[in-house]
Amino acid sequence: MFTRNTPLKIISCLLLAACISFGSFIQTSYAEEDLMDFAKEAGYPIKEGYQPKASIVIDAESGQILWADQPDLAWHPASIAKIMTMYLAFEAMEQGKFTLDTTVVANEKYVNISQIYALSNNKITLGIDYPVRDLLSMMIVPSSNVATLMVANLVSDNDEAAFIHKMNEKAAELGMTNTTYYNSSGAQVSAFEGFYQPEGIDPNGDNLSTARDLAILAYNLIKKYPDVLTYTSQPVVTTMKDTPYAETFETYNYSLPGAKYGYDGVDGLKTGSSPSGGFNYIATAKKGDVRLIEVILGVGDWSDQEGEYERHLAGNAILDHAFSTYEYKKLLSKGPNTINQENIILDEDFYGFVKQNSGPRFALSNGQLTLDNELGQVSPNIPAQSVRYQQSDQKSADTQTDKQAKQKKTQQAPTEKRGHNYLLSGSLAALGILLIAFSRLFRKRISGVRRGSRKTSTTTSRLLCTLGALFILSAIIVIIFL
């Protein structure tokens, strides 16, 4: 039913809805911002339909997440799988199993694989020795499947199935909890026409991973084996130099400076594309002392090769937004600090990433201070940057001061309360006396009027007198009981 209060209720509801909408607008977080909008503003306009299915950006030093959109979406990474093969190759060299100068002889199997048209490859000549350093360049730049298999077999002593098991074991060790490998290069075993048959491995199995897991892999690769960037940073590379088998390749990483969509600071890592995965990309870029790692998955569709370029527009936009939105700086100085109402002493200066024009939040636990980042760490295996602290002696002094202040406030409270009561009592009493005085004045004023009005005036006078008495009684009650 429509009542007199209905318009007021409607207005109140509208105001409440407006407040809720406004609150939602101002609380938009970085990861919820629209990629299409800020990509256009940054000069990297992405066409409709080419937005990545998943993406993530992390700090390459600390593992702190700066951007995340569907980071745990299961996806087929395609040739990005070669990054794990490269990781295991560098690990094997670290263990002394071989060196960059170690050679692999091209046998008939490798020659046959190199001639499979459906696979990305390079020329392999029967009986020629191929140094590991050249095979690594072939893996990264032209994304050669045969070169990848030659390196994998070197690591595993030609046990193809053992190498795939090793890939999965390493993924588990690094904390890549949603990754499964079925092959060493990103191409399904069935695509090798019988020349690559790891025993016990599903030939139609397609590698699965996530943006988060691939960021974890890239983080560990760059952290442990930074020399990998010498193989991923060149837009053009020539392998087997000064031999009759020299080949020159242009990179598929179009975000490298000098390439089609060059972005300042990019120096790796790897692209990948397939019918099941679309167009994917892992990049790393360094500006000043800051290095970021990003993963872009699922741009476009395999049937439309435009995605090969659009993935770099998306990657450049997200990298640019991370670099311009966050800043790495000193957040706290060594020595005394007050954090979360705790007085502490830091052992050293504390640095970290924070959004520009926003204050950092910190967490204190077990003598360690960390940055309380809203997006967290890329992996629980990678702890947040921290600095040791000690409790300050000032804390006990401050606590004692607080207690004394509370006691003083408690002591002052009754006095203040009594003062308020006296003021209230006096006001009530004054008002009562004033009403009684008005009742007497009113009675005298109408004493000369006719008899009919005198009865009414007497009633009014009595009412004023009664109210005055009630106010005086209230004043007495305030003094006695409050």
For the chain, the straight-line distance linking the first and the last C-alpha, in angstroms and rounded, comes to 47
Amino acid code (one letter) for 440: R
Indicate the burial class of 470 (C-beta count within 10 angstroms; 0-12, 13-18, 19 or more): middle
Q: How many CB atoms lie within 10 A of CB 174?
A: 20
Residues that constitute the known binding site for substrate? 270
24 an active-site residue?
Answer: no
79 an active-site residue?
Answer: yes
Buried b (16+ CB within 10 A) or exposed e, 276-294: ebbbbbbbbbeeeebbbbb
Q: Which candidate in 79, 114, 255, 386 is catalytic?
A: 79
265: left (phi over 0), alpha (psi -120 to 50) or beta: left
Stretch (H or E) spanning 462: helix 451-481
Rounded CA gap, 184 and 144, in Å?
A: 11
Q: Which candidate in 82, 144, 209, 379 is catalytic?
A: 82
Rounded CA gap, 382 and 217, in Å?
A: 12
21 an active-site residue?
Answer: no
Residue count (the chain) = 482
Rounded CA gap, 185 and 163, in Å?
A: 11
Q: Which candidate in 120, 137, 143, 461 is catalytic?
A: 143
3-state secondary structure 374-438: CCCECCCCCCCCEEEEEECCHHHHHHHHHHHHHHHHHHHHHHHHHHHHHHHHHHHHHHHHHHHHH
Stretch (H or E) spanning 149: helix 145-156
Q: Phi and psi for 61 in degrees, rounded to 5?
A: -90, -45
178, 213 contact by CB (below 8 A): yes
How far is Cα of residue 190 from the mean position of the Cα atoms in its chain?
38
Looking at residue 47, what DSSP letter applies?
P
Question: Which are the catalytic amino acids?
Answer: 79, 82, 143
